[in-house]
Chain A
Amino acid sequence: MFLARIGGTVVAASKHPTLDGCRFLIAQRLEADGSAASEPIVVVDWLGAPSGATVLVSTDGDIARTRLGNTTPARMVIVGIVDAVPRANARGGGSA
């Protein structure tokens, strides 16, 4: 699992049949210092994560297979929306 920041939404008419009806978001993986990775990723969102939110992404496909069937290629799924990530060298990063 890793943290990522939501950057936007993806619209795709042509997709694997098991992905019909899924919401896809663009996200950037976050490093330990809070900086974003250069390559974006596409994640499945069932929680309604808003743009700019920090989310917890799981790369285990089991939850996707449970919901979408054994033949789904879905892998990266948002499993939580993050409230705060306290950092050792950045005080008060809480509910600002």
Chain B
Amino acid sequence: MRLGIVRGHVTLNLAVQAFLAKTLVVLEPVTMENLCAGNGLGGGKALVAIDSLGAAEGQVVAFTEGREASNPFWPDAVPVDAYCSLIVDSISIQP
């Protein structure tokens, strides 16, 4: 999983059946430098993920990529690249 900051939500007009009633969030991945600085900045290339946890804008989430991102919808086939697995409460970095 990588870490990302929720920057917004995506609303679809037309979508494939599998995406109905799913929440999509725009995530900005966080670099180690920004994570340590705690400056609220990301630094990575933005991507869209499915979120079932209700993450709010500005919150940091850990998201799964790849085939495992669609596991939560098993046995349904959902064309998902990224899935928000957890909402981060706190991170303690031990240098």
Contact = CB atoms under 8 A, between A and B. Distances in A.
A70 B74 contact: yes
Interface string B55-95: 00000001011111101111100000001011111111111
A39 B44 contact: yes
B91 A36 contact: no
B64 A75 contact: yes
B33 A12 contact: no
A86 B38 CA distance: 35
Contacts of A81: none
A7 B93 CA distance: 6
Interface stretch (B5-13, B14-22, B24-32): B24-32
Contacts of B73: 71
Interface secondary structure of B, over-half rule: mixed
A52 interface: yes
B30 A39 contact: yes
A76 interface: yes
B47 interface: no
A72 B44 CA distance: 25
- Looking at A10, A37, A38, the one whose CB has the most chain B CB atoms below 10 A away is A10
B35 interface: yes
10 nearest A-B residue pairs (beta carbon): A15-B86, A12-B86, A51-B94, A61-B68, A8-B93, A75-B68, A42-B1, A73-B64, A14-B87, A42-B62
7 contacts: A8-B93, A13-B89, A38-B31, A39-B2, A39-B3, A59-B66, A75-B64
Given A9-B91, A11-B92, A39-B29, 4 more contacts: A38-B31, A42-B3, A70-B75, A73-B68
